[in-house]
């Protein structure tokens, strides 16, 4: 765990120069991973929450939080109970805080510029079994993450003037009509009206979205959809 933390060049991760302090991220995570009591965990959490991955007093989150989330989840699984509580609190804070203008996204390995909140939610869903096992607190984190849904288009069929898009849905698409960002090969296109046509069956991610007033040719297989409101989140 410590090697993974030390392997990150935290100073290379962009962040608002007046608020983000890379050294707080690096030293805070290492200290939290090594914490052996409540005081040490609290001190590490103060570093991380005071400019490392978030700035708690101004309710701002930094791109570094996305890199830190898997490490915080590791600490929650393997660390001291006090470190676990601190890590879970920081995860909740990172998901709920808003980023500064100009630092609202992180670039995924496939080149997709994902809103910070959606990237954090993706990491949380990857540890669903662990978080569910924590009971109420872990389930609450997953419920908050579900609002930052992600849909991958597999195939599309014309339906009158609309398109039925079939694919996989992670998270929960809300009731009603909503806008989404469509990401494909580094290009973001806004789709102004979508509804959930068929929700996933229990134990499945397969779903269908209706994309209003769009042709199937405009919705290529492999494109990723994210909530448009997440892309608009700015501190």
pLDDT tens profile 43-98? 999 999 999 999 987 899 999 999 999 999 999 999 999 999 999 999 999 999 99
Task: Please name every residue paired with 44 in a beta bridge, in sequence order, or none if there are none.
Answer: none
Helix (H) or strand (E) holding 25: helix 22-34
Look at residue 1 and tell me whether its pLDDT is greater than 80. no
What is the distance, to the nearest Å, from the Cα of residue 97 to the centroid of all Cα atoms in its chain? 12
User: What pTM was estimated for this model as a whole?
Assistant: 0.94
231, 104 in Cβ contact below 8 A? yes
| Cα separations in angstroms, 198 against 54, 56, 93, 142, 166 | 37, 39, 32, 22, 9
């Amino acid at each position: 765990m410590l090697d993974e933390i030390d392997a990150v060049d935290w100073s290379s991760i962009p962040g608002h120069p007046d608020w983000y302090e890379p050294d707080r991220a690096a030293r805070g995570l290492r200290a939290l991973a090594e914490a052996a009591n409540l005081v040490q965990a609290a001190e590490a959490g103060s570093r991380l929450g005071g400019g490392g991955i978030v700035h708690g007093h101004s309710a701002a989150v930094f791109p570094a939080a996305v890199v830190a989330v898997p490490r915080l989840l590791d600490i929650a699984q393997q660390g001291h109970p006090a470190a676990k509580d601190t890590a879970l609190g920081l995860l909740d804070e990172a998901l709920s805080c808003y980023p500064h203008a100009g630092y609202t996204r992180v670039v995924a390995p496939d080149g997709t510029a994902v809103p910070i909140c959606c990237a954090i939610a993706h990491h949380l869903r990857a540890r669903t079994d662990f978080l569910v096992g924590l009971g109420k607190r872990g389930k609450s984190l997953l419920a908050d993450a579900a609002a930052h849904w992600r849909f991958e288009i597999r195939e599309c069929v014309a339906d009158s003037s609309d398109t039925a898009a079939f694919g996989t849905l992670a998270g929960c698409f809300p009731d009603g009509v909503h806008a989404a960002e469509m990401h494909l090969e580094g290009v973001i296109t806004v789709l102004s009206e979508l509804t959930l046509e068929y929700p996933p069956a229990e134990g499945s991610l397969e779903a269908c979205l209706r994309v209003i007033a769009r042709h199937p040719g405009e919705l290529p297989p492999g494109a990723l959809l994210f909530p448009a409101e997440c892309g608009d989140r700015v501190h």
